[in-house]
C-alpha cells in the first residue's frame, strides 16, 4: 500500500503535500495584497472561500492550498496574477514568513472542535487520500491525541489565537456564520475593504447556503475537481451535513466528559475557549 501520510516538523501531512514543498515553503514570495485563508480541516473553509469569491467585484484568483502539491507549486503561484486568495491548513508558525513580514491580510475560521472531529471522521471514511479508520471510537482517540492529518486541533487553534489581535487578522467562527451569515459577510467586507450594499449581502448569503453550495457541485458547468483543501480535489466530499451540534449524534456521555477534560486543560489560557464548545 502506498504511503498516505508522512511527518513534517512533527505534524502528519498527506503525501499530497510533498516534503520538498513543505521544506521550501518559507521561500515563498507573498504579495502585499494576498489574502490568506487559514483553517484546521473541516472548519468551514469552503463556505468561507465561497463567500469571499462572491464578495469581490474585481478579478481574483482562489488558489489551491499553498501546501498542496510538489515544489513546483510555489512557481505556479508565482505566475498567477493578483489578487490571490490563498487557502491553507498550516499552523500559524509554519506559514511562509513573507505573509507575516508583508502584513498580508489573513482570515482564520474555526469551529467547535467536537463538530470538527465528527466532520473529519466522516471525511476519513470517504476520502481515499486519508488512512482507514474503523470506528468512531478509534477516530475519537486519534483526534484527541492529535494523531490525525494536520496534527492537534488544539495546537493549530492556539498557534493562530496568539495572533488574534494582529491588525491584519480576522478571526471567524463557523457557528457565527450559521447564526447570522449577513453579519459575518459584512464583517468580512469591511475587513477586506470591499464596498457592498445590503441587497448584495443578502444575495451572497442566499447563494452561500449549504443546499445551494452542495447543489452547485451537481451542476454540469461546475468544476468538481477544485477544492481549497489539500486533502482532496473532489468537491463532492466537502458538503456532508452543514449543521451545528452533530457531535451530539456521535459522542457518548463518557467521550464528552473526556473531551471536555482535555479541552479545558489544553485551552486553559485561551480567551476564546467559551465560544468553541457547548
Ligand atoms: S476542508 O476539506 O477541510 O476544507 O473542509 P471545510 O470546508 O473546512 O469544512 C467542511 C465542513 O463545512 C461544511 N460546509 C457548510 N456548512 C454550512 N454552510 C455551508 N454553505 C457549508 N459548506 C460546507 C461541510 O458540510 C463540512 O461539515 P460537515 O459537518 O461534515 O457537514
- Phi/psi at 139 (nearest 5 deg)? -65, -40
Tens of pLDDT along 78-128?
999 999 999 999 999 999 999 999 999 999 999 999 999 999 999 999 999
Which of residues 135 and 218 earns the better pLDDT score? Answer: 135
Q: Is the CB of 214 under 6 A from ligand 1?
A: no
Ligand 1 centre and the CA of 271: distance in Å?
A: 25
Ligand 1 centre and the CA of 235: distance in Å?
A: 10
pTM for the model: 0.96
- pLDDT at site 54: 96
Ligand 1 centre and the CA of 216: distance in Å?
A: 14
Is the distance from CB of 101 to CB of 163 less than 8 angstroms?
A: no
Write out the catalytic residue numbers. 89
- Phi/psi at 126 (nearest 5 deg)? -95, -25
- pLDDT at site 152: 98
Burial letters for 75-94: b for 16+ Cβ neighbours within 10 Å, e otherwise?
eebeeeeebbbbbbbbbbeb
Ligand 1 centre and the CA of 42: distance in Å?
A: 6
Angstrom distance (rounded) from CA 61 to CA 85: 6
Maximal CA-CA distance, the chain: 53
Tens of pLDDT along 14-43?
999 999 999 999 999 999 999 999 999 999
Q: Is the CB of 129 under 6 A from ligand 1?
A: no
User: Residue 274 pLDDT more than 90?
Assistant: no
* Mutation choice for ligand 1 from 39, 148, 239, 249, CB with most ligand atoms inside 8 A: 239
Tens of pLDDT along 239-256?
999 999 999 999 999 999
User: Residue 220 pLDDT more than 70?
Assistant: no
Angstrom distance (rounded) from CA 164 to CA 263: 19
* Mutation choice for ligand 1 from 51, 240, 243, 246, CB with most ligand atoms inside 8 A: 240
Name the band, by pLDDT with cuts 50, 70 and 90, for residue 227.
confident
What percentage of the chain reaches a pLDDT higher than 90? Answer: 89
Decide if the complex's ipTM is over 0.85: yes
Q: Is the CB of 64 under 6 A from ligand 1?
A: no
Amino acid at each position: 500500500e502506498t504511503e498516505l501520510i508522512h511527518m513534517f516538523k512533527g505534524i502528519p501531512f498527506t503525501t499530497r503535500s510533498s516534503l520538498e514543498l513543505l521544506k521550501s515553503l518559507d521561500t515563498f514570495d507573498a504579495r502585499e495584497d494576498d489574502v490568506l485563508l487559514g483553517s484546521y480541516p473541516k472548519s468551514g473553509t469552503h463556505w468561507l472561500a465561497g463567500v469571499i469569491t462572491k464578495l469581490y467585484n474585481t478579478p481574483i484568483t482562489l488558489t489551491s492550498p499553498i501546501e498542496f502539491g510538489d515544489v513546483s507549486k510555489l512557481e505556479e503561484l508565482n505566475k498567477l496574477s493578483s489578487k490571490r486568495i490563498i487557502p491553507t491548513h498550516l499552523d500559524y508558525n509554519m506559514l511562509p514568513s513573507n505573509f507575516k513580514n508583508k502584513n498580508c491580510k489573513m482570515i482564520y475560521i474555526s469551529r467547535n472542535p467536537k463538530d470538527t472531529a465528527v466532520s473529519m471522521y466522516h471525511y476519513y471514511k470517504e476520502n481515499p487520500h486519508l488512512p482507514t479508520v474503523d470506528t468512531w471510537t478509534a477516530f475519537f482517540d486519534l483526534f484527541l491525541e492529535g494523531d490525525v492529518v494536520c496534527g492537534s486541533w488544539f495546537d493549530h487553534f492556539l498557534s493562530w489565537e496568539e495572533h488574534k489581535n494582529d491588525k491584519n487578522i480576522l478571526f471567524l467562527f463557523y457557528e457565527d456564520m450559521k447564526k447570522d451569515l449577513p453579519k459575518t459577510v459584512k464583517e468580512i467586507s469591511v475587513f477586506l475593504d470591499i464596498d457592498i450594499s445590503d441587497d448584495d449581502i443578502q444575495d451572497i448569503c442566499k447563494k452561500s447556503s449549504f443546499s445551494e453550495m452542495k447543489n452547485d457541485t451537481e451542476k454540469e458547468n461546475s468544476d468538481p475537481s477544485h477544492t481549497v483543501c489539500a486533502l482532496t480535489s473532489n468537491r463532492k466530499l466537502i458538503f456532508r451535513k452543514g449543521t451545528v451540534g452533530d457531535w451530539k449524534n456521535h459522542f457518548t456521555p463518557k467521550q464528552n466528559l473526556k473531551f471536555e477534560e482535555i479541552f479545558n486543560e489544553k485551552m486553559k489560557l485561551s480567551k476564546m475557549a467559551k465560544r468553541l464548545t457547548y
